[in-house]
Structure 1
């Protein structure tokens, strides 16, 4: 049984899903466009894995930061960080802002009369896999009766988690 829980934003045990169409469309419901997690060897193919189970306790883990954009809840949860925001101020969401040293994923900005009153930077982080998730993905597709190259699901290569967190014991 595949360790992938979610593919292109759809739980693997969800009923009445045309998985062939899901895989062909490569659509990410959280980005509202094609999934940007692609195979290095074939960048025209989106991987689409959002979450997996891992470890002795089969812990569900989100591995794609875009998965955290569901219903835009993360931004609502950050509203309290705008300490000088007042009712009636406009709220703006600005993505991929370059700053010295890199980019910030999002800024939630409170604006009144065209002036910034407060802002908070929001960086989305999830655990990442090591090794390759591809054979696990292909095993899931085989379980879901999606036509694939059978050799790709037979690989025993596995993935691990790139995690140094003390709470995460596998």
Structure 2
């Protein structure tokens, strides 16, 4: 029997959570992780969906990047500590308040903290974590945060959960979600962008620890399908390394409580190794397979 496709979190809580903590966010259309309006909106902006995570054949998967910013951007703090050690971490608003008072600190620059850094006309980095020493820029790292894009829609399932207080149905009575998972984006868009951004960072005079990458564990397993799980790891961060932090949602909680975001793996490798594996990875089809595919379409391949 196939597993029912389902919504896992809406506005940071289980979709059938009827507690005040959960349902007040439905009414506000607000994200509890960044304390701002939710960015998961339908095409004509008439509905704020608030969907943070959905089921997948490989486990629950986060589909909104803001879900990673729980506990006051803990994942960014962990990246900063890995790169720079145990020094104060400040959001941009905190940096403004404490300017001149702290001699050595890390300042987070991104969409919800100051501004997202643009490199050229079309390339942006989700976060720059900049270390300041004695009021001057000493070094920084780039950080990319990636959730999983979905296809299809989950409209019926979402409305089912929204109307639970009225219909008093059980979770098993909610229609199955019709979402799909855009795994093709991994090799079509995400890996090429990651390589480009890593190369740009490696050319900076201030980037000494390379690019950091934060994403769900189940999504990085798809990366490994492309580049191979046996790629050589680098011992230390350098300007030309990519450091990966993967996470998964913790166990389901009782009503009014949120699931924890749990670290799974941390490792790093050089951009050169990662790029070479993408171009000529172990799972690329052979030339003979391509030949056979062409003949099959032409009807020239004997069955």
Larger Rg over CA atoms: 2
Tell me the TM-score normalized by structure 2.
0.46
Equivalents in 2 of 1:121, 1:167: separation in Å? 22
1:151 equivalent in structure 2: none
1:158 equivalent in structure 2: 178
Q: Deviations over 1:24-50 (max 9, x none)?
A: 210101121110121103x14211000
Q: Deviations over 1:106-165 (max 9, x none)?
A: 1111101111111111111011110112222112223x3257xxxxxx987711000136
Tell me the TM-score normalized by structure 1.
0.77
Higher strand share: 1
1:46 aligns with 2:61: no
1:66 equivalent in structure 2: 66
Structure 1 runs, 4 residues or longer, greater than 4 Å off = 85-88, 154-157, 165-169
Equivalents in 2 of 1:86, 1:21: separation in Å? 37
Quickly say closer, same or farther: Cα 1:54–1:117, change in 2 above 3 A.
same
Higher relative contact order (CA 8 A, sep 6+): 1
Equivalents in 1 of 2:156, 2:180: separation in Å? 13
1:23 aligns with 2:50: no
Q: Deviations over 1:9-36 (max 9, x none)?
A: 1223546336553322101011211101
Q: How many residues in Structure 1 have an aligned counterpart in Structure 2?
A: 159
1:90 aligns with 2:92: no
1:137 equivalent in structure 2: 158
1:76 aligns with 2:77: yes
Higher helix share: 2
1:126 aligns with 2:137: no
Equivalents in 2 of 1:76, 1:146: separation in Å? 41
CA RMSD of aligned residues (A): 3.1
Unaligned 5+ residue runs, structure 1?
Answer: 148-153
2:123 equivalent in structure 1: 102
Do the aligned partners of 2:6 and 2:176 also contact (CA within 8 Å) in 1?
A: no
Equivalents in 2 of 1:6, 1:77: separation in Å? 24
Secondary structure of 2:60's match?
strand
Quickly say closer, same or farther: Cα 1:156–1:53, change in 2 above 3 A.
closer
